[in-house]
Amino acid sequence: MPIITVKNLTKYYKIHQKEPGLWESLKSLVARKYYDVKAVDDISFEIEEGELIGFIGPNGAGKTTTLKVLSGLLYPTSGQISVLGFEPWKRDHKYLKQMSLVMGQKNQLWWDLPAQESFILNKEIYEVPDDQYKKVLNELVELLDVKDVLNIQVRKLSLGQRMKCELIAALLHSPKVLFLDEPTIGLDVVMQKAMRDFIAEYNKKYKATIILTSHYMEDVKKLAKRVVIIDHGKIIFDGKLKEIIDKYAEHKILTLEFSEEFPKERLEKFGEIDSWEYPRAVIKVPRLEASKRAAELLETLPVADINIEEPPIEAIIRRVFSGGKKQEAKSKKQ
C-alpha cells in the first residue's frame, strides 16, 4: 500500500497582468486581466513507506508547488491526493501530527529566544508525551551535535547551528512523512554534507518517508535511489537514478594518461575528443562500446593509465531536460 498517492495533480496560479501606463492602471481598478500559470500539470506518482525520493528540476519547475500541495498548504486545482490516508488540504490535525515540512530558507524557531523554548512549544503543539520527547530530543541532538547551543538565543547562532536546530524542531514529533524543500540551499559545502548525512541516517533509522526537492545534483546523487524529474510542471522521469544514467547517458568518459606523445589523429578514431593536453586526454565513447574500445586503446596506444566513468549526472539531466523540450517542440509543431 503506497503511503503517498498522487493522481493527475494540477495546480494553477492566477496572476494578474499589470500593464504599464496611467490609463491601464485606471482600467485595472475596474477590470483585472488574469492569466493562469500552470505550476503543476497533471502529474501522478506513488510512494511507498520508507522511500527517500529526490524531486529535481530547474527553478520554477513545480517541485516546491508539489510539496506544498502534499503538505496541505496549497489547494490543488484538480486531481486526487492521498498521504497517509488523508487529503492534505483538509489539514486534519491527525494528519498534521504525522508529517513535517521543512523549507530551506524559512525559520520556525522564535528568533529572540533559545531554541529550547521553541522545542518545548512544538512538543506541546504536537502533543508529544514527555518521555518520548526526551528520548527523541536526545537522539537528534546527538546526531546533529548541538548540545551546547540549545540555550542560546537563536539570533546569536551561526547559520549551520540554526539549520540544525530548525531540523530538530521539525522532527521532534517523529513524523512518518517528511517533506524537505531545498534543505541545502545557502549552506556551505561542509554543512551540505552534514545535512545529507543526517537525512540519510534519519531515513535509515526511523524509516520515515522522505521527499526531498533540490536543484543540487549532489543532494540527489548522495541520497535518492529513486528520482523524479520535473520540468515545466510535468514529470519527465520517475525511476531509479541508475535508469536515468542507462537511458540518457549515451556515452562513457575515458580519461587517459599517456607515456609518450603521438599525433592527435591516432586517438580520434576511437571516439570524440573532449580535451587533449599531453600527457592527459579525455574522450567520449558510445556506452556499449566502452570496454571494447578501451581494450583496443590499451593495445595500440602508449597508455600509462586509463579511467572509465559515467558522464556527470548534471550533464545527463541537462540532456533529459533538453530532450523534454524537444518533445514539447515536436508536439507543438503537430
Partner 1 sequence: MKKYFKVWLQLAHISFAEQLATRFSSVLFLIGKTARFVFFLVFLFSLVNRTGGLAGYTKEQVIIFFLMYNLVDISTQFFFRGVYFFRQKVVSGEFDFYLAKPMNPLFRIMAGYTDFLDLVTLAALAVYGAWFAGQSSIRPDPMTAILLLIMLAVSFLIALAIHIIVVAIGVITTEVDHSIMVYRDLTSMARVPLEVYSQPVRIFLTYLIPIGFMITAPAKALLGLLTPPTFLFSLLLASCFLFLSLRLWRYALSQYSSASS
Partner 2 sequence: MKKYLTLAKISWSNGLVYRLNFVMWRVRLVLSLMTAYFLWAAVFGQHQELFGYTRDKMLAYIFISWVIQSLVLSSRSIDLAGIINSGDLSNILTKPLSNLKYWFFRDIADKTLNLLFSVGELAFLFLILRPEIAVPAPGNLGMLAILVLPLATLLYYFINYLFGLLGFWTPQVWAPRFLLFVILQFVAGSLFPLDVLPVGLQNVLNWTPFPYLIYFPTQIFLGRTGNIGMVGGIGLTLVWTVIFYLIVKLVWKKGILVYSAEGR
Contact footprint for partner 1 (CB under 8 A): 22, 25, 29
Q: Which is nearer to partner 1, 22 or 189 (CB)?
A: 22
Q: Which does 30 bind (CB under 5 to 8 A by kind): partner 2, partner 1, none?
A: none
Distance CA 57, CA 334 (A): 26
Cα R_g (the chain), whole angstroms: 25
Q: Which does 29 bind (CB under 5 to 8 A by kind): partner 2, partner 1, none?
A: partner 1
Cell numbers for 47, please give them: 510512494
Q: Least distance from C-beta 14 to partner 1, angstroms?
A: 19
Task: State yes or no: residue 71 binds partner 2 (CB under 8 A).
Answer: yes
Q: Which residue type does 96 have?
A: L
Task: State yes or no: residue 200 binds partner 2 (CB under 8 A).
Answer: no
Task: State yes or no: residue 12 binds partner 2 (CB under 8 A).
Answer: no
Strand order in the sheet with 303-309: 272-277, 280-286, 251-258, 303-309
Distance CA 149, CA 156 (A): 10
Among 4, 40, 52, 96, binds partner 2 (CB under 8 A): 96
Q: Least distance from C-beta 163 to partner 2, angstroms?
A: 15
Q: Work out the burial of residue 218: count CB atoms within 10 Å of its CB; fewer than 13 is exposed, 13-18 middle, 19 or more buried.
A: middle
The DSSP string of 15-46 is: EE----SHHHHHHHHH---EEEEEEEEEEEEE
Distance CA 207, CA 102 (A): 18
Q: Which is nearer to partner 1, 22 or 190 (CB)?
A: 22
Angle between helices 159-171 and 189-206 (to 10 degrees): 20
* Interface region with partner 2, contact rule CB under 8 A, candidates 70-78, 137-145, 257-265, 272-280: 70-78
Q: Least distance from C-beta 173 to partner 2, angstroms?
A: 9
Among 35, 75, 262, 276, binds partner 2 (CB under 8 A): 75
Q: Which is nearer to partner 1, 25 or 291 (CB)?
A: 25
Task: State yes or no: residue 209 binds partner 2 (CB under 8 A).
Answer: no
Q: Which does 22 bind (CB under 5 to 8 A by kind): partner 1, partner 2, none?
A: partner 1
